[in-house]
Chain A
């Protein structure tokens, strides 16, 4: 574990919003029947979170659950506890057709914070990011410029964004261009 480093080692940029790579995060792709009681109980046991509605994210005491598709959740937890979380999920899902797989190292996570955060993302993702349309707990699987990404809005009005690790530098760079001083749009 001591050898583990995140994609950009917590790089940060201060523009009209702040962009930070947040370091390693536990992430699990969970595929299964989202309406099943067993899966619901498994997610609850592993994270404390409820099954999220479409395009939403839920938070529990040990992690979060994000809606990725009609049969897929993204489970978020501490990097150190990801194996335990998978073990809990797998144990609780015994006998159920499901897949829980560790994707923590396949991803990078960014936080976009500050008053301009919505506009930084709105330059790169074809998503209605106005305050009325995108609220705390909303989650969107979309793209950032030319690559796939997913993001959600936290209660503190900061966004967190997940992308593939191989394109972490690209995503950080486009977020920097997007957040360059003087680039405020004044629309959102």
Chain B
């Protein structure tokens, strides 16, 4: 049984009881408990089931490395799967449930997989799902979908908020154990600005539990003083519940702060992602104890020795009454000593080393604990709980010498420094034979933009394993970081700690070392993904020599714990099987985040209303008032049409077009790009940008122009107005405004830097309204003002400044619809008032707004091209019959030379034509004109494609524009376009101008 002890629990506030629920059971714990310690205190040893075999799983660790104790946490909008019980702080009202079982944790149907173990070897997925081909869809996928995933998928929207925070410091110290605290102090004494972060809620890490003395006082007291000292320093910021999640180029660090996970009712964000720039980063990330690989090492009750120590000392929880300790190093003796002193039984310490332990072993022996050197575990017995262990010689093959009753096993295979953050950005590792672990290679640190190392490892993260060495190393790390950050390092000496001499550890990668297949198949490496010693050996036998390949083949280390416990044991097993030294096999790549972080933290504030920016014109309020139906255009949301109650979108578009053609309509054209180009060289500049001539445009006049990329492809179009001798206003497409402004600046800054031209993007300075239709002039004249908008006063393709009503207006006589049309710009802040005034003045003409679809249909009726419809990045103006807009006089313009290339000048390029269906129907969007025969891939040959296709209310039939092989020479010919249903539709090739071919209507 695991239970709460009468003593111990340094992190608990036993005065405050908390209630929580696990699988529907009401349980209690104390303030300061983790979910794991609280469950253990309630004798809830089993916390889940493994991924592949559904084996019972208990907690094995006490921190971020825990692979087993993953929970479905919370409910509804606060539900989140795969939450680690060991790093979840208990709070009142917490609800959680175990994962990956059905129907219940205790009785699980999926556990039948467990008895099929030998049918699920390494690479099972790859081997099984290859054939027969049909089986994937009909057999395997449905089964995999049923069983995939540990936790459940949230069904409700996350109710919490999240945020980012940008922080700039000289030195970021990751890890608030004794090393991190010491390094932060050493760094801060230099005057550097220091940010110290600790992933748990407590400072000091495990030093207080493991004991020792520093500067003549207990290490716990030393830590308390250190924390107080740092807290008082103005240049130090200390954050608990904040994990150093990743280290990136140029001293960029992500800090994952769990602001309200432990106080879920509080105001403020749940998580905050710190985006930190630091000159230097100290990784004081500690070390993780390794499991030992023996048969049955995954049975609930088998735990890391230090974790058992933590639960007793930190949370006052005993895992069992009788704990067998099995180790290859001295540190695990601390667990035995602590348990014995707490009044619990330690029937035996199995020390795999023939020579046994050092001073700590003597201390244990003095307490009366039986110690067996050179011995190990042949097998753990038990199902959902350890019942006994069978002892054997480590040197043998597992012949059982004795069976000892126990309900817990504390194992220790040595310690591995947490080198993840050191490695994220390229820090290299070196193999330490004495400690049998990888540690940072100080000579090969990740380097910054100056080629200087910017990460300094400290303490046990740097491979130092005793208190005195840890403090010395951390102090030096703080000094080194402050020096590298440009400060004068402190001259203060490191504190003095009493070193506790330990006997050398001996690597043990399999217990017993000669374990046969029957034992190996039950010796777990990866507890969450069910990878055993036998799987890694099989992978090696099948030719997987690379550790990266073996990882993927066996899924070792690919679970949500990212192999924190399994990594070294797995690659040592692989190395053993390959007869290669461990450093030659190497490690898998360490990638951020250190432990999984929430999607919410990554998204930050970007959700709901502010998921992405929505650009609004100053007339947008009107569109909202009348419930316009929108379409996205860039980040704008433009009205597609303005449907009336009960009206279909198609009917609304038809109504808008007929009204505009018959009388008058309004379009919110504010989104069109407007760029001022000014300077003595402005004309020359525009002659280069546009395919046609702009420099000879007279002030007061407008001209339509085309812009191409330097590769000749059509990029944007619009009307240019010359304001004065030096100044032009260039209209761009809505989506092109920022891009074309950037394009202009690119050429001016990089190529023609000596040309005297300035540009300014004034798109949003103006609200622009197109007043369109035969009655447009009457509406404007009704508003009054001093502007003469008569045919003579303001002719087609002219512009003029003046007053319309009491609005400061600039009117352009330009038309994209073929009707009498004025595009009128007013200051944006007056846009809504101007729109309302036009609506009021136009009431007698039944004025109504029209949307982008009516705009598109009307321009298609006139045969006007649309960037993005007729063009797709592969179209040159010549394809569209726009030769009239390409200057032959100009020596050069962007795209000119490209358009002379043989492929561009090829007469076989598809060319723009109008298309009119024979039966009056509308050709489907994206249709191809089919041709005889089929190509090498067995596909039907094509001879053209549709670029725009609409129902034309004006002509009451389907019209389209398209690119057709030799199209302009085939007028009157009928060709066929494919339809989605497999049939075809016949269309006649016609002139693309369907309506008012002579342009009489716009020029009145």
Contact = CB atoms under 8 A, between A and B. Distances in A.
Interface of A: 2-7, 24, 29, 31-32, 71, 97-99, 101-107, 119, 122-130, 133, 145-147, 164-170, 173-174, 177-178, 180-185, 187
Interface string B616-634: 1110000000000000000
B609 A173 contact: yes
Most chain-B CB neighbours within 10 Å: which of A2, A71, A104, A145? Answer: A145
B827 interface: yes
B442 to A, nearest CB: 30
B770 to A, nearest CB: 18
Given A5-B829, A31-B758, A32-B758, 17 more contacts: A5-B833, A29-B760, A97-B679, A99-B679, A99-B760, A104-B765, A104-B829, A105-B829, A119-B165, A125-B166, A146-B606, A146-B613, A165-B618, A177-B610, A181-B267, A182-B269, A185-B272
Contacts of B618: 7, 165
A178 B605 contact: yes
A174 B834 CA distance: 30
B613 A105 contact: no
Q: On chain B, which size bracket covers the interface?
A: 35 or more
Most chain-A CB neighbours within 10 Å: which of B605, B679, B763, B833? Answer: B605
Contacts, number: 142
B830 A3 contact: yes
A167 B615 contact: yes
B610 A122 contact: no
B722 to A, nearest CB: 15
A177 B756 contact: no
Nearest to A184: B268
B834 A180 contact: no
B614 interface: yes
B165 A105 contact: no
B676 interface: yes
A24 B829 contact: yes
19 contacts: A3-B830, A4-B830, A97-B680, A99-B678, A101-B676, A101-B760, A123-B605, A124-B605, A125-B166, A133-B168, A145-B605, A145-B613, A146-B613, A166-B764, A170-B614, A177-B610, A178-B605, A182-B267, A183-B268
Contacts of B167: 122, 187
A3 B826 CA distance: 11
Contacts of B829: 3-6, 24, 104-105
Most chain-B CB neighbours within 10 Å: which of A3, A6, A99? Answer: A3
* Shortest Cβ-Cβ A-B pairs, 3 listed: A182-B267, A182-B268, A3-B833
A contacts with B: majority SS: loop
A110 to B, nearest CB: 15
A169 B616 contact: yes
B237 interface: yes
Given A126-B166, A128-B168, A181-B267, A167 B676 contact: no
Contacts of A173: 609-610
A127 B636 CA distance: 28
B766 interface: yes
B610 A145 contact: yes
B275 interface: yes
Nearest to A165: B764
Contacts of A99: 676, 678-679, 758-760
Nearest to B277: A128
Nearest to B257: A185
B608 to A, nearest CB: 9
Nearest to A186: B237
Interface string B625-652: 0000000000110000000000000000
Given A101-B760, A106-B762, A124-B605, A5 B268 contact: no
B612 interface: yes
B479 interface: no
A162 to B, nearest CB: 12
Nearest to A169: B616
B898 interface: no
B832 interface: yes
Contacts of A145: 604-606, 610, 613
B266 interface: yes
Contacts of B612: 146
Contacts of A167: 613-616, 635
A8 to B, nearest CB: 10
Interface string B753-776: 000101110111110000000000
Contacts of A180: 161, 267-269
Contacts of B248: none
Contacts of B609: 173
A72 B462 CA distance: 50
A106 B676 contact: no
Contacts of A31: 758, 760
A165 B618 CA distance: 8
Contact of A105 (B268, B275, B680, B764): B764
Contacts of A105: 764-766, 827-830
Contact of B610 (A71, A133, A174): A174
Contacts of B267: 180-183
A99 B680 CA distance: 11
B164 interface: yes
A102 B165 CA distance: 34
Contact of B756 (A6, A97, A183, A185): A97
B845 interface: no
B764 A164 contact: yes
Given A106-B764, A170-B613, A123 B163 contact: yes
B676 A169 contact: no
A140 B168 CA distance: 16
B553 interface: no
Given A3-B830, A180-B268, A181-B268, A103 B165 contact: no
Given A145-B610, A166-B616, A170-B614, A102 B765 contact: yes
Nearest to A99: B758
Contacts of B222: none
Nearest to B164: A123
Given A126-B275, A170-B613, A98 B605 contact: no
